[in-house]
Amino acid sequence: MYVKVDGAWTKKWTSVKWTSRAWCADFAKYSWYWGKAKITGLNAAADSFRTYGRANGTWHSKGQVASGSYKPKPGDAVSYDNNGDGRADHVGIVTSYSASRKVYHSVEGNTSLERLTYKKSQSATAGRVLGYTTPKAR
């Protein structure tokens, strides 16, 4: 986050006080921000990552992953539809991907017990996965 230090705005690590609400998109946006990605258009809604991907030409459906035409990369946001309404209601950040096994690892906020969770060997084309958004550089 930017804070004023000696009269100048400086990018600085600061503590975040999470509240008891869904914060997966906040965590993913925060990760992209520190990774120097463009975050314009992202908000606290998980579906904002899919909207961002479509607007920036960086959205990749799970069908593209299934066909092999796209391979998720570390830093991509993975969007999930957990309630079946066709919109993303959860999002995480891909940390690795195995093309031979079509599985990924991710780190996700607000998954259980309001903590950050590292998930291993998830199917890249599982039913609840909607797709992946690659961040644009700032």
Q: What is the pLDDT of residue 13?
A: 65
0.85 cut: is pTM over it?
no
Chain mean pLDDT for the chain: 89
Q: What is the pLDDT of residue 92?
A: 96
Q: Which residues of 79-103 are buried (b: 16+ CB within 10 A; e: fewer)?
A: bbbeeeeeebbbbbbbeebeeeebb
Distances (CA, A) of 95 to 19, 42, 49, 55, 117: 25, 20, 17, 23, 12
Distance CA 133, CA 93 (A): 10
Walk me through the domains of the chain, giving residue ranges and CATH numbers: 21-133 (3.90.1720.10)
Give percent of the chain above pLDDT 90.
Answer: 72
Mean pLDDT of 82-94: 95
